[in-house]
Amino acid sequence: MNQAEQALISFLLPEGILDYFEILKVEKESKELQIYLEEKNIAPSGYQITELESKGFLPEVAIQDFPIRGQKVALRIRRRRWTVKKTGNIISRDWDLVRKGARMTTEFGLFLKGIFG
């Protein structure tokens, strides 16, 4: 992906999401865009990647985001999980992507709260 495409996509998705997720595919179903994102194999804060072993993904979640050109947008997110080699503990990165009590991004939830109170 060239720099212009990367910049454009970064404006359409929640800020900073492309630092930790890669886009797998985008599908249009009726009046909704499904954007499939998968967490990159980057160690969570406090760990070195050499201390961890990737153990697949947590179940996919769908989160509503800002509409794009009249299309509803659902981010289909697969978060990674790791095993700490020394202890055998399973860990995952702590994300503040979802607005508490809703299935939408925090950013979108705050936007709607500002409009509707």
**d(Cα 43, Cα 81) in Å, to the nearest integer?**
10
CA distances from 30 to 35, 72, 76, 81, 107 (A): 14, 10, 16, 32, 24
pLDDT tens for each residue of 54-100: 999 999 988 888 888 889 999 898 989 999 999 999 998 766 544 45
Q: Is the pLDDT confidence value at 103 over 80? A: no
Local structure of residue 24 (DSSP, 8 states)? E
- Segments forming the whole domain that contains residue 23: 3-116
Cβ proximity of 72 and 32 under 8 Å: yes
- The residue ranges of DSSP E strands in 12-106, in sequence order, are 21-29, 32-39, 52-57, 61-68, 71-78, 80-84, 90-91
Q: What share of the chain has pLDDT > 90, as a percent?
A: 38
Q: Which pLDDT score, from 0 to 100, does residue 116 have?
A: 45
Cβ proximity of 37 and 17 under 8 Å: yes
Query: Does the pTM of the predicted model rise above 0.85?
Result: no
- The number of distinct structural domains making up the chain is 1
How many other CB atoms are there within 10 angstroms of residue 21's CB atom? Answer: 24
